[in-house]
Every structure is written in structure tokens, then in C-alpha cells.
Amino acid sequence: MNDNKWWKNAIIYQIYPKSFKDSNNDGIGDLKGIIEKLDYLSFLGVDAIWLSPIYDSPMEDNGYDVADYFKIAPIFGTMEDMDSLISEAKKRNIRIIMDLVANHTSKEHVWFKEACKSIDNPYHDYFYWSDKPDDKISDFCGSSWEYVESLNLYYYHYFAKGQVDLNWTNPKVRQEIANIINWWLDKGVAGFRMDAIELIGKELDKNIFANGPKIHDYLRELNENSFGKKKDSITVGEGWPTTKIAIEYTNPEHHELDMMFNFDLISHIWKNNDLEKFEPNIPNLIELKKIFARWQNDLKDKGWNTLFWENHDLARCISNFGNDRFYREESAKALAYMLYFQQGTPFIYQGQEIGMINAYYTKLSDYQDIDSINKYQDKVIDKKIVSSSRMLKGLQRGSRDNARTPIPWNDKENAGWNNGATPWLKIIPNYKEINIEKAIANKDSVLYTYKDIFKFRKESEYRDTIINGSYETYLDDDPYIYVYKRSYNDKSFIVVVNYDDDNHELDLNIDVSNIIMSSYKDSPSSTRKVILRPYEAIVYKIK
């Protein structure tokens, strides 16, 4: 199955441009800032950058509201900067993956401005309209329908008011998106992360949103008219599929997408009364093992997995799954071992590699994210279903801004992120402790765990085991210890992790030989009746 595809063994690093590096000291990260740091990414072992949107946009949702797909937002730079980013990255064998926001455009996009002129305008049918709005609620609160006085009609938006849903039933819309993709591919980008792609087949009158009946036709058509023509391109879809649905999208014989993000874990976290992600329902280890096994086993030879803990919409993984107060580094390393020896393409999010934790802001005014601000307004002020203090605590757990704080590059002024101008979002207070310079200087830091895992995946004798190997687990009912084995032909290794902040005995009758990698310096060389320390993680070679 597609074994020669470069992305099966690539490390993809997500950059949220607003927060990565501010080169011109205006308080907002930019493309030149990314170029400055390419050598760092190369040192880390990154093969491709997934760039969150940098297109021209009113930034209602930080660029996920595109006003012009062929222009760079002035706050990020110019098209020349984009060209140099592509070519400078290429010199370092790093590819650029764009974020294709094609479920919706900004209401500032010329298509929408035209569409509002009259119902006979050729762009009118690029969007969904109704003269009688129903009770659909948008993802960022409030009605999904917004009135346009000039037409006496309402337009539909799944997300914010400024993010107008494109009508994919219109073949002209589908062609426009193919043109955008081709234009960027011609420029030299490697592919696309496809935002909210599962929604493009929605059927509003039937209340069907994700995975609508036509979605596979649309994606096959798009594949044929655009990225499918470029054989080494990469596409990764954003959606919340079951494994069965993920296979429909990613089976290479279907000619749709290369891979989908797996949000099974996140659905689990969000399944909690009124406050969903703001009072996260963190799975215990036994539940986590089941989720991992489901994706590893179901997709084997039928589709392709993505491996990720974080992105710009989620809390930091150590704050959710680890212990960010007492075992920050140990638990960061344990989480890396748990996931990144599995089968699939690894994605890491900026700052994850140094074990960044949630922002823990204390005031509503510290937040910039539309989702956090609207949800506070909705739950605390409008509906009065939670108290302000409960919601503020909730934001500390689940706000998207937790992962969007500027990257701390060193312990100097403004964490070396810029030269002192006020950043658009507050820098974490603990940047003197957690920063990239410090992580590079300490060979025992979380950063070297990531770097070593990446090297192991790409360069060791286990490269094929990582790409093709089977996934077998042990001690499935153990609430503290996670063990999985990967094997391919005559090469096997086993990963053992103590997912707890206490010591636990491991007693596993497997004949291991030497340790390939471990998170503590002096880990036990056997798996028989040994004590694992908090978050201790070890990879053994199997005889």
C-alpha cells in the first residue's frame, strides 16, 4: 500500500504563524519569523511544516476566514516572503503544507460581496441562503443564519458570522477550490491540511452536516482535478470520523485523501455536561489503550493514521493528559513514547517539543480567541448556566488560546519572541523555565526525546517496522502501565510506559535485549518484576 510515499515516514510540524516568531516587532508572528527559525526545525528533524492560514483575512478566526486565497495577509508579510519561505524550506528539505479553508470563506471575500448584490449575481449560488432561518446554532454560539438586508435573505454559517459556508453542490465552487489548490501546488507547496473538510457535503434541509452523502464524490472529483495529479502531494483532512469513515476517506483505492486526523480521543474529552472541553473528561489509561488499539488495528492496510496530541484548537497535552505541575518533563516524555512509536504520520504542534503547558490566564481580557470569548458570553452572561469563576477555570483547561501563546525562544525580554512590542497574546509567565534555547542546551530535555524519536523513526534499522509493523499490546487491563510491540519481518521492539505519578511494578515475561531509548537515564534492563518510576518510558529491542 503506497509504501513509497514520503509522508508515511515524515515528521510534520504545525506552525501557528501569529504566535511562532515576530520578526518585525509589531506584536504578531510573521513569515520572516518562520524563515529565521528554519534551521531550528531542521535541527529538530522536521520534514514538513503545516502552516495554519496565512491568506488575506479580517482575522475574525485568526485566518480561518479567508478573504483572498491568492494574497498573503499583510500582518504576516508578502507573497515574496511566502516564496522565500517555500524556497528556503526546500533548501533544508522541508516541505510546506498549506491550510486549505474550503468549507467557508470570509464574508469579506469578493465572492460573498458579489453574492450579496442580487439573487441573479453569478456568485449568489456560491453560498447557502434561506428566507426562513431555522433553529440551527453555530459552533461559536448564536444562530447559524445571518440576515442580509439588501436581499432580505439569511446566509448560513456553521462557524462564526464572518465565516460563510460555501455551497459545494455548485460545481463552480468545486472548480474554484480545485483552481486554488492547483495554483498553490504550482508555487511549490507539498499539499494541504483540509480544514473542516467533513462538512462540505452538508445537506442543511436534512440536518446532515458531517460526512454527507455526496462528500466522497466531491473529494474524488477534487482529487482528480487537483492534488491527485501531483503524485507526491499530501492531503490530511480535518474531521471527527469513526475508523470506518476514516477508511472511506483514506483508502488509497478510493482516491480521496491521504489521511484524516483522528479526534476519537478529543470526542471522549469533550463528552461532559454543559462545559464540554472546558471541564474535560480525560480518559483513563485503559480507555486510552482502547482508542489507540482501535485506530492502529482498524486502519492497518486499509487507510492511514495520523499521530497527534496537540494542535492550535486544543489544550496542551501535558496539561490534559500528563502532570504539568510536578512531572512536566517526565510526563511530556511519556506522552511522546506512548504515541510516536505507533503506525501513522506524526504531527507535532509548535512548543509541544519543549513541553509547553496551558497558559492558565486568570482574566477574561487575557483571551483573544473568538470561541472562548463567545462561549463565556453565551454561558455566563446570556444563558447564565455557569458562574464566571467556573468558566474562567474552564478556559484555563479548554480554551484554544492555551496552545496559541507566543513561542518562548529564550529567557530574555518577551522570551526572545520579538524585541519588546506587546505580543497579541500574553507570553507564558514561566518562559524563563520553558524555552527553546534552554531545551537545546540540556541534552536531557523533552526536546531531545522528540528529536531522538524522529531520528529513530526515520534513520534506524526499525524504519520499516515503524512504517509497516504490526501493533500488539500487553497488560490491557493494567490501569498504569501501557505496553505495545511493533514487529515487521525479523525486527521487533516494545514500548513500555508508566502512565502515572507513582511507582508501579512491571512484570512482563518478554525476552528483551538492550534498551533502545529511555526517558530516565538508568532504566531497568528487564521487564520482569521491575519498578517503573513516575512516567518512566522505555523502548526495548526484542531478541
Rounded Cα–Cα distance for residues 423 and 194 (Å): 28
Nearer to ligand NOJ, 52 or 223 (CB): 52
DSSP 335-404: HHHHHHTSSSEEEEETTGGGT-------SGGG---HHHHHHHIIIIIIS--S-HHHHHHHHHHH-GGGG-
- Considering beta carbons, is residue 101 or 200 the nearer one to ligand NOJ? 101
Instruction: Give yes or no: 195 in active site.
Output: yes
3-state per-residue secondary structure call for 422-482: CCCCCCCCCCCCCCHHHHHHCCCCHHHHHHHHHHHHHHCCCHHHHHHCEEEEECCCCCCEE
Instruction: Enter the DSSP assignment of 166.
Output: B
**Cβ contacts of 72 within 8 Å, gap of 6 or more:** 31, 54, 55, 56, 78, 79, 81, 82
Selected catalytic residue, list 47, 99, 176, 195: 195
β-sheet bridge partners, residue 542: 512
Of residues 153 and 160, the one with the C-beta less far from ligand NOJ: 160
CA distance 164 to 339: 36
Instruction: Compute the least distance from the CB of residue 168 to ligand NOJ, in Å.
Output: 15
Distance CA 290, CA 307 (A): 15
The CB-of-238 to ligand NOJ minimum distance in angstroms stands at: 6
By the criterion CB under 6 A, which residues form the site for ligand NOJ? 61, 64, 101, 159, 195-196, 238, 312-313
Comparing CB distances to ligand NOJ, the nearer of 61 and 221 is 61
Min CB(298)–ligand NOJ separation in Å: 24
Least distance (Å) from ligand NOJ to the CB of residue 192? 13
Nearer to ligand NOJ, 425 or 508 (CB): 425
Residue 158 in grid coordinates: 456553521
In whole angstroms, what is the distance from residue 375 CA to residue 399 CA? 10
Query: Please, what is the minimum distance in Å from the beta carbon of residue 246 to ligand NOJ?
Result: 17
Answer positive or negative: Cα dihedral of 345, 350, 353, 357. Answer: negative
Question: Minimum CB separation from ligand NOJ for residue 536, in Å?
Answer: 34
Spell out the residues 6+ positions from residue 495 whose beta carbon is closer than 8 angstroms to its own: 337, 338, 341, 482, 483, 484, 485, 486, 537, 538, 539
Beta carbon of residue 312, minimum distance to ligand NOJ (angstroms, whole number): 6
What own/partner pairs with CB < 8 Å and gap ≥ 24 does 482-487 have? Answer: 482/285, 482/288, 482/289, 482/338, 483/508, 484/292, 484/341, 484/342, 485/510, 485/542, 486/341, 486/342, 486/343, 486/462, 487/542
Comparing CB distances to ligand NOJ, the nearer of 163 and 445 is 163
Nearest to ligand NOJ of 81, 313 (CB atom): 313
Secondary-structure breakdown of the chain: helix, strand, coil percentages, each rounded to the nearest 5: 35, 20, 45
Q: Which of 99, 165, 176, 238 is catalytic?
A: 238
Q: Based on the residue annotation, tell me whether 238 is a catalytic residue of this protein.
A: yes
* Number of residue whose CB is nearest ligand NOJ: 64
Q: What is the nearest approach in angstroms of ligand NOJ to the Cβ of residue 269?
A: 16
Angular region, 489: left φ>0, alpha ψ -120 to 50, beta rest:
left
Give the alpha-carbon dihedral of 264, 268, 273, 277, to 10 degrees. -80
Residue number with CB closer to ligand NOJ (64 or 309)? 64
Catalytic residue set: 195, 238
